[in-house]
Structure formats: C-alpha cells, structure tokens
Amino acid sequence: MRFGTWSIRSLYRESSLTAAARELQRYKLDLVGLQEARWDKEGTITAGDYNIFYERGNKNHQLGTGFFVHQRIVSAVKKGEFVSNRLSYIVLRGLWCNIIVLNMHAPSEEKSNDPKDSFHEDLEQVFYHFTKYHMKILLGNFNAKVGGQNIFKMTIGNESLHKDSKDNGVRLVNFATSKNLVVKSTMFPH
C-alpha cells in the first residue's frame, strides 16, 4: 500500500477532484491524507478511481481533513472518524493487525499556545485510543520546522533542511520520541 499526504485548497468542482484523482493515480497512491479541504459539507464522493471521505472545515471555510482512498483498498476501510477540523483517522483492516492512519493539520507556528496545546491533547487522546498492536501511521501537515540538532538525530535522521527547530518542530519531535516513532520527511535528502 502506498500512502501520501496532500494539502488541497478549494477543490469544490467535480473536474478539479477528477484531476486530483488522476494525479494520485499517476503516482499509484492507495491512500492520501487531505488537509485544508475547506468544504462547507461532509460526506463521501467518488472521483476517478478514488472514494473521498471528507469533513467540513470551520464556519469560515478553513481547515477540514479527509482521505482519498483508492477503489482497490476501499473494502479494507473499517471506520473513519473526524475528531476535529484538524484531525481525523481511518481504520484499515490489515492481514495481521488493523492499520490506523491519522491525518492532521497542526496550527501554524505563529498561533498562540492554546490551539497548539488543544491540538496535541486531541492527538494524544486519539493515539492512545487504539491498542499497541495496531500499526499507526501519521500523515499530514505539522507546520513544523525540525532542526538538525544532534539530540534529535535518532528521531529525525540526518537530512533536516533547517538548522534550528521552532516550537512546532520541538513538539513534533517530542511526540514522535515519546511514541517510538520517526519523522520520515527528514530522513532522506531533499
């Protein structure tokens, strides 16, 4: 199964969704997390070979998350839940265990600590909602600059684009480290 994440703004028209589905098909992606859907409704629609599960954004047509799920794996979808307009997850039936894919869009760096704290509390709660034997994959936009400090190397690898971490980057590394996860976007050369 191939996963990806995509931040899409204003894909309201059917033709835009079909074009997005064609692009995902070109990369042979089976499941893609969607951030900033900005739709004013929620539900499931079909575009090309994908089912799109999505939730509405806030009252200002901001935020909103969802998933593009290819037809070949849609039968493996057991459950999907939209925790907030920044956090959702989908449960896929796997061969030996369920695969939980969390999709998130963290508050940006310039936001105050209250929305960031609230987001991370929700993320912790959802992460611990599932037992340890499930495979958990996090997709999305953490709005984080993760620096290449030596103390972070075990979690982030050697290929960070940034010299120093910002607040969101430190929060991301602390979360990943406490859950024995790695940040893959900083593992490979850019």
Q: Tens-digit pLDDT profile for the chain (190 aa)?
A: 655 555 544 444 556 788 888 888 998 999 998 887 766 667 788 888 999 887 765 565 567 788 999 999 999 999 988 888 889 999 999 989 999 999 988 888 888 889 889 988 999 999 888 877 888 888 888 887 777 666 676 676 666 666 677 788 888 888 888 888 877 765 556 5
CATH number of 3-143: 3.60.10.10
In the block, residue with structure tokens 């901001």? 62
d(CA 107, CA 178) in angstroms, rounded, equals 20
DSSP E strands in the chain: the ranges are: 3-7, 31-35, 43-47, 50-54, 65-70, 77-84, 87-92, 99-105, 135-141
- The domain segmentation of the chain, as residue ranges, is 3-143
Helix, strand, coil shares, percent, the chain, to 5: 30, 30, 40
pLDDT at 180: 83
- What tokens does 134 get? 């499930």
CA distances from 73 to 3, 60, 151, 167 (A): 12, 33, 39, 37
In the block, residue with structure tokens 């590394």? 173
